[in-house]
């Protein structure tokens, strides 16, 4: 129990909530821990304003406990530095890859089946008209439109998680998607996608969430990012009968109607 308490405190310290707004981009994040005390995990999210636009990572470290929290620290530290410095997403992903390999070496390979990270890395450039995404073995995000429709933004080619250098060097594709006014990019970890009901059926946000959003819009204003996350969390709970089977990290990024995007800040000198 003490190891879980230490891990939970460390997790809260290294995973602060992002700002609620960066330029015209409205942001909300939630972390729902698993019920099982032995299941303290390595789910993570981070949002950063950079000279290249707003950059985002949502990830899930394989493994539990203090080792997972240590890998989360390595991921976040590498992202916070490289998000400013890397000229493009492939270079940013390379920096994350090397950080995890160094972390694995530091731990001496004692947990060979742990430490790698499924990750979704995204970039919103000036104007917010598009979002560029690199997917390294992570559940694909949903693009929610202003009418409550949902589209799964799957990768054009599959790529393994970060930190699996023994499988060779991977250069995952950068996929570009339209991000029109009124859109929301909804990202989450597999605590959502692998949540099961009593019959073992997985939760499917792309099927269930649109009806919830349309109903919410009919009875009031379209839901804000934080409200979208609460709708999703509540619906996952209904699906599982209230059991939280694994940690859930959720991040919603919304472009309001008429928003033109942030003014890029200059690079550091």
- Could you read off the pLDDT of 163-210 as tens digits, one per residue? 876 555 667 899 999 999 999 999 999 999 999 999 999 999 999 999
Measure the CA–CA gap between 125 and 201, rounded to whole angstroms: 38
pLDDT band of residue 39 (cuts 50, 70, 90) is low
Cβ atoms within 10 A of the Cβ of 171, count? 11
Of all residues in the chain, the percent with pLDDT exceeding 90 is 54
The pLDDT score that the predictor gives to residue 42 is 83
User: What ranges make up the beta strands (E) of the chain?
Assistant: 21-22, 25-32, 42-50, 53-61, 117-124, 130-136, 142-144, 150-152, 175-178, 184-188, 248-254
On the question of pLDDT at 110 being above 80, the answer is no
Q: What is the dotted CATH code of the domain comprising 2-254?
A: 3.60.40.10
Measure the CA–CA gap between 138 and 120, rounded to whole angstroms: 6
The pLDDT score that the predictor gives to residue 70 is 78
Cβ atoms within 10 A of the Cβ of 34, count? 18
Measure the CA–CA gap between 208 and 69, rounded to whole angstroms: 32
In this prediction, residues 134-162 reach a mean pLDDT of 93
On the question of pLDDT at 41 being above 80, the answer is no
In this prediction, residues 125-133 reach a mean pLDDT of 91
In this prediction, residues 99-111 reach a mean pLDDT of 65
User: Among the listed ranges 131-135, 146-150, 193-197, which one has the minimum average pLDDT value?
Assistant: 146-150
In this prediction, residues 146-155 reach a mean pLDDT of 92
| Percent of residues in the chain assigned helix, strand, coil, to nearest 5 | 35, 25, 40
Q: Whose CA is closest to 23, among 47, 57, 58, 44? A: 47
pLDDT band of residue 269 (cuts 50, 70, 90) is very low
The domain spans of the chain are 2-254
The pLDDT score that the predictor gives to residue 11 is 60
User: Among the listed ranges 40-54, 102-116, 168-182, 233-247, which one has the minimum average pLDDT value?
Assistant: 102-116
pLDDT band of residue 109 (cuts 50, 70, 90) is low
In this prediction, residues 219-231 reach a mean pLDDT of 84
pLDDT band of residue 91 (cuts 50, 70, 90) is very high
pTM: 0.88
């Amino acid at each position: 129990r003490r190891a879980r308490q230490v891990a939970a405190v460390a997790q809260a310290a290294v995973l602060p909530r992002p700002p609620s707004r960066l330029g015209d981009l409205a942001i909300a994040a939630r972390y729902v821990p698993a019920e099982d005390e032995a299941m303290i995990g390595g789910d993570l999210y981070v949002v950063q304003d950079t000279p290249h636009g707003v950059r985002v990572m949502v990830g899930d470290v394989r493994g539990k406990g203090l080792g997972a929290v240590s890998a989360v620290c390595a991921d976040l530290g590498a992202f916070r530095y490289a998000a400013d410095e890397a000229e493009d997403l492939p270079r940013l992903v390379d920096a994350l890859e090397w950080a995890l390999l160094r972390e694995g070496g530091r731990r001496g390979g004692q947990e060979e089946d742990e430490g790698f990270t499924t990750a979704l890395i995204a970039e919103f450039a000036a104007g917010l008209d598009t979002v560029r995404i690199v997917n390294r073995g992570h559940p694909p995000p949903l693009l929610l439109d202003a009418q409550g429709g949902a589209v799964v933004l799957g990768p054009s080619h599959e790529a393994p998680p970060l930190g699996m250098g023994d499988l060779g060097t991977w250069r995952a594709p950068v996929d570009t998607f339209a991000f029109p006014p009124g859109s929301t990019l909804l990202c989450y970890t597999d605590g959502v996608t692998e949540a099961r009901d009593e019959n073992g059926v997985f939760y499917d946000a792309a099927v269930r969430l649109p009806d919830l959003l349309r109903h919410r819009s009919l009875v009031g204003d379209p839901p804000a990012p934080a409200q979208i996350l609460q709708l999703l969390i509540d619906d996952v709970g209904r699906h599982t009968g209230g059991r939280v089977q694994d940690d859930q990290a959720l991040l919603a990024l919304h472009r309001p109607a008429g928003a033109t995007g942030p003014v890029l800040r200059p690079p550091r000198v």
